[in-house]
Amino acid sequence: MKLKQEFQSQIQQILPAEAEAFFQSLNTDSPTSIRFNPFKNYSTRLEGEPIPWAENGIYLTERPTFTLDPAFHAGTYYVQEASSMVLEQVIKQTVDLNKDLLVLDLCGAPGGKSTHIQSLLSNGSLLISNEVIKSRANILAQNITKWGLPNMVITNNDPSHFDRLNVQFDVIVVDAPCSGEGLFRREPEAMNEWSPDAVKLCATRQQRILADIWPALKPGGVLIYSTCTYNSLENEDNLKWLQEQMDAEGISLD
């Protein structure tokens, strides 16, 4: 994989002692991991090493052909990268899951985080899973239908629309559209689309999304912001901007 020099320089600043190991890792295969549906059982359960931060997540030793497995189509597990499953720890450390909560997954497609969140919530909670792009909203609906749990609503709206509901959410998850740096190993073509200008454009769009959805967060509620990028512009800098513009307060995690 040929990495752009601007990207290499960025990583060398973030990981001065580990940059070369990071670059080498991009030429290796991504580990395959799945997360079981805790509300469904089946006889030929896949086995693997447990993922420490996800109660129902495991690493598989090899990647099977999931589309040939009836259990996959029945929604007994979801194929998801292990790093995404850290959301479970963030929610468990910041939210009282014994309470009935109103939760919004703002950028929900294809459904990994939504199905994960839904598996953690109480029966009396409600999850709104939203996707602004119509075609991706259809994929989201398919995956959530396979997961098979109630108390979930799928929407296809712009973030600015939620202010019209006149309701506020206990938890909002914003897994924001980004420049895709975390996809380089899995989707090498994403490297060709990356540029410093694309990073700046994404950071500006992310700020617009955060500003639009902030009024829908209940006072004292929790907003969880994530991207699949490494640069500070789309991550730490945007959180600093949110603190300055919206008077948000950071939450420490173990």
Q: Which residues are catalytic?
A: 228
Give 233's DSSP letter: T
213 closest CA partner among 155, 168, 153: 168
Instruction: Give the up-direction half-sphere exposure of residue 63: CA atoms within 13 A in the CB hemisphere.
Output: 9
Strands of the 57-60 sheet, one edge to the other: 49-50, 57-60, 32-36, 77-79
DSSP conformation class of 179 = -
CA distance linking residue 88 with residue 111, whole number of Å? 15
> Residue 66 CA to chain centroid, in angstroms?
21
